[in-house]
Amino acid sequence: MNIGELANRTGLTQSRIRFYEREGLLTTVERRPNGYRAYPNNAVLVLDLIATAQKAGFSLDEIRTLLPSDLADWKHDALIAALRSRVADIEALERRLAESKAQLVAVIAGIESKPDDLDCAANARRVLSTVLGKEIDSARTVASDHLPAPRQRA
């Protein structure tokens, strides 16, 4: 198939397809005598895999190492390990996002509960000291948990 048909079947632009070819991700491309590219039917699958992997956060280098030159020759263990690692990365990101969300919700609640006798600057200091004070206390607790116990004097 030609590049236009491949672009239509994958939803990718022709320039994106050429980019993947230049990057060595799409390797089964033939050149016709007229200079046009000829793509095999499995190019659709390869491009779908690349696009899906990128959406999952894999870099092109990671995709290059995981994508076999022959789709019948997958390195099962390496693929599973990479996918599990990406899931762990996503879970860590979800935890960080949940913490950020909780902090922002606390700031919003603090701002919205501004006492009538406080101006905005004083309220900002109050809210920030409350939210940041909790973070500082939490950081101190974590740090103290990792410090060696003080030596006892005899």
For 110-124, write each residue's pLDDT tens digit: 888 888 888 888 888
As to burial, measured by CB atoms within 10 angstroms (0-12 exposed, 13-18 middle, 19+ buried), residue 33 is: exposed
CA distance 129 to 133: 5
Summarised one tens digit per residue, pLDDT across range 79-117 is 899 899 999 999 999 999 999 999 889 888 888 888 888
35-74: pLDDT as tens digits: 888 999 889 999 999 999 999 889 999 998 888 877 777 7
Domain residue ranges of the chain, discontinuous segments joined by +: 3-66, 76-146
**What CATH fold (topology level) applies to the domain 3-66?**
Multidrug-efflux Transporter Regulator; Chain: A; Domain 2 (1.10.1660)
Q: What is the pLDDT of residue 59?
A: 92
Q: Is the dihedral of CA 78, 79, 82, 85 positive or negative?
A: negative
For the beta carbon of residue 110, count every other beta carbon within 10 angstroms: 17
Between CA 118 and CA 127, with CA 123 as vertex, the angle to 5 degrees is 150
